[in-house]
Amino acid sequence: MTRSGLHETIHGRVLEPGDAGYDAARSVWNGMIDRRPRYIVQCADTADVVACVRFATDNDLDVGIRCGGHGIVGHAVADDGLMIDLRPMGGVTVDPVSRRARVQGGALLGALDRAAQQHGLATTAGNVSHTGVGGLTLGGGMGWLARQHGLACDNVISFEVVTATGETLLVSAEEHPELYWALRGGGGNFGVVTEFEFALHPEPGTAIAAAFRFPYATSPRAMRRWRDLSASAPRQATFEAIIGAEGVSLGLVWVGDADDGAAEISTLAGELTEVAEPDVRSVEALSYLELQTREDDIEGHAWRRYWKGHYFTELGDDLIDALLARDGDDLPDVSLQAYGGAIADVADAETAFSGRDTAFEFVAASRWTDPADDERRISAARRYAGTLGRFASGAYVNVLGNDGDAGIRRAFSEENLRRLTAVKDAYDPGNLFHLNQNIRPSGG
């Protein structure tokens, strides 16, 4: 297909450098990403996606796939290539009887949350409402409901996928089962997902967020007690810690019955106060939708960003000491979020997502505005996260940076990686979809 053929075929909009809206369309969440695709196609339907894939193949163009644009590396923005912009395909349809949601590939998490909560339903959908459903889910999909209902990928019933040959497939446990397995955690390596079908769960829409901040002098004792309480926490509770310049915030997020949550938080507060006195206490009752948007401003667009992540299978005393040994300037803020519960109920072999035995996910995240600070802020985050590498058991594929094959080996078990490579060989042997955390076909 020629350039003129692309313009004539697409039902949506084709943008090229110099067109009105081009610069806005190429801008993504991480303000460090400044690339210029040759074409940005704002797809109106699955047929547009098929046309893009075939055009890219015919013209030997790199392909980036954009939804929310939250990937830290900015893979969506294919420099001098073709960006498939799925955002116009952002619809969500909920069937409250079957408890199913059909979600187009360009939808944001907030759209899914709002549509489902109209019927008293929800499914695991991250922590920030302007994240794309597609990228989150294909990499696994952690969220405040994961300990109750599993990861986002565990809740996918079926996918509509455009493959590297331009074929459109309906993929489920019964149809193309190996591809279905790979799409649940293997990232965007195997095609463009134009629709997800999710299982939904009854949720009352009530939540509580509790945090108790301790100065560094007393935080080791408090963090050890917080860790011990997390091990026996109900599945409605997701323990969370934030380590920053002002101290160490230890708490939990509760989604479920408000009275039960208040009792759990009262117990946590009493246990923590027994070993150390917090200097700030915060207990906030929220609706589920408020919970899902409370980090939207903090995680807003345009900031320059860098992060490093680890999985920890346990939070031993030595690791806690290392986490709290923060010396130097420009150190990143750190989050720890508890896994377990329904996440661990699924065996590693059941989906491509690896690391089901993770106890806590660690992310060290920096954000700033001045490009002159890039090297300094990135170096500080790398240095700090590097001191913790000896404790790590792997990493979440959705927080990998430009780590290449080493990152892929951290994100997937050896067995899962072999199986993912076989699926790549079957569905994308030419590696058309390589702008991602790439699982290379066996041919190289």
CATH class of 3-85: alpha beta
Coil, helix or strand at residue 130: coil
User: Tens digit of pLDDT for each residue in 96-139?
Assistant: 999 999 999 999 999 999 999 999 999 999 999 999 999 999 99
Which tens digits make up the pLDDT trace of 302-357? 899 999 999 999 999 999 999 999 887 899 999 999 999 999 999 999 999 999 99
Contact 210/269 with Cβ under 8 angstroms?
Answer: yes
Residue type, 72: I
- pLDDT band at residue 249 under the 50/70/90 scheme: very high
What predicted TM-score, i.e. pTM, was given to this entire model? 0.96
Rounded to whole angstroms, the Cα distance separating 222 from 271 reads 9
CA atoms within 13 A on the CB side of 366: 23
Q: 3-class SS at 305?
A: strand
Could you tell me the CA-to-CA distances from 3 to 17, 55, 167 in Å, in that order? Answer: 14, 8, 21
For the chain, what are the domain ranges?
A: 3-85, 92-203+417-427, 206-404
The contacts of residue 20 (CB under 8 Å, 6+ apart) are none
pLDDT > 70? residue 392 = yes
- DSSP string of 368-388? ES-GGGHHHHHHHHHHHHHTT
The pLDDT tens digits of the residues spanning 148-170 come to 999 999 999 999 999 999 999 99
Q: Residue 2 has what pLDDT? A: 67
Contact predicate 438/408, CB 8 Å = yes
Tokens for 174?
A: 């019964």
Fold of 92-203+417-427: 3.30.465
Whole-angstrom Cα distance, residue 158 to residue 171?
Answer: 6
Asked if the model's pLDDT at residue 174 lies above 70, the reply is yes
Query: Is the pLDDT confidence value at 63 over 90?
Result: yes
Q: What is the mean pLDDT of residues 216-236?
A: 97
100 three-class SS? strand
Q: Is residue 444's pLDDT more than 90?
A: no
Mean pLDDT of 228-234: 97
User: How are strands ordered across the β-sheet holding 156-162?
Assistant: 92-95, 100-104, 192-199, 156-162, 168-172
Q: How high is the pLDDT of residue 87? A: 98
CA distance from start to end of the chain = 27
Contact 112, 119 (CB under 8 A): no
Predicted local confidence at residue 328, as pLDDT: 78
Amino acid at 438: N
Check whether domain 206-404 has CATH 3.40.640.10, yes or no? no
Q: What is the mean pLDDT of residues 372-387?
A: 96
DSSP code at position 108: B
Q: Mean pLDDT, to the nearest integer, of 426-433?
A: 98
Q: Can you list the positions of beta strands (E) in 163-205?
A: 168-172, 192-199, 201-202
